[in-house]
Every structure is written in C-alpha cells, then in structure tokens.
Amino acid sequence: MGEKLQGKINIGNILKVVLIILLVLFIGFGIFYFFTIRTKADHAFRDAKNVYLALSTAEIEYYSRGESIYDPTKYNGLSDGVMERVRQLVDNEGSYRVISYNTKEHRVTGMIYYNRNFYVTFDDQNGNTTWEVKYLMPIFTYKD
C-alpha cells in the first residue's frame, strides 16, 4: 500500500511550486518595471538639461543682438524664433516652458520640461539649483 501512495502526485507540493514561480515572476516584473522607469527618467532629465543649455546658448545670441529670449506674454515664455533655434541646437522629444527668468543676469531661473509621462522642473533661486524628475502615471481616460 505504501508504494501506491508514493506514485500519486502530491497536489500540495505542486501548488507550492506554482506559488513560488508566480512570486518570482511578480518580483521580477516589479524590478524590471522599476529599472525601465528609472532609465526613462534619466533620459528625460538629460533632455531637460540639454534644452536648458540650448536656451542659455540662445540667450547669448539674442543678448548680443540686444534682445532677450524671454517673453512673459507668451504661454511658453519664449520670444519668437527661440524654439526654432533650440530645435537646431538640441534634438529633444518633449515640450518645455520657461516659467521664470532673471532679467538682470539674462538667464533662465525656472523651467518645466514634459516628455511622455515624465515631468522635469528646474528652479534656480538665490544660487540654489534644483532639478526634479517626476513620473506621472495615468490612471484612466474619460471621453464624453
């Protein structure tokens, strides 16, 4: 009779193995997703810094002509032709806005950069420079 019991499949052991496999897959997916988000966040951060440097370069060009890149009357905060000049200097995928500008020193002190679900902010007040990268996760879309 003992030989008959050893030949049967133990369902409890199979369930344990299946649960362990599912747990390993779940943890592996979580780690993969974390590193994917981290890599894309680094890419958005580099793009934002490149846009900031291109804006600084454009400001030098405009300043030499007696003009400024900043126009507070426009939504993006930029004068005509600045976005085209930045596009020539930098290949970026996102959109951006200048939200604050130091008119005495002729430099950008605040900027927002959007790339897919990433949102990068730049703030330079009183010599304290801060870059923040945030991930915006869409929950649902409602269309009427």
Q: Is the pLDDT of residue 8 over 80?
A: no
Would you mind telling me the total number of residues written for the chain in this entry? Answer: 144
Q: Name the range with the highest mean pLDDT among 76-80, 118-122, 136-140.
A: 118-122
pLDDT > 90: percent of the chain: 56
Burial category of 43 from C-beta neighbours within 10 Å (exposed 0-12, middle 13-18, buried 19 and up) = middle
Sign of the four-CA dihedral 58, 62, 68, 72: negative
Q: What is the pLDDT of residues 63-113, one digit of tens each?
A: 999 888 998 899 988 998 899 999 999 987 889 999 999 988 888 999 999
pTM for the model: 0.77
Q: How is the chain split into domains, by residue range?
A: 11-135
Average pLDDT over residues 29-51: 93
Closest CA to 131 of 114, 112, 108, 115: 112
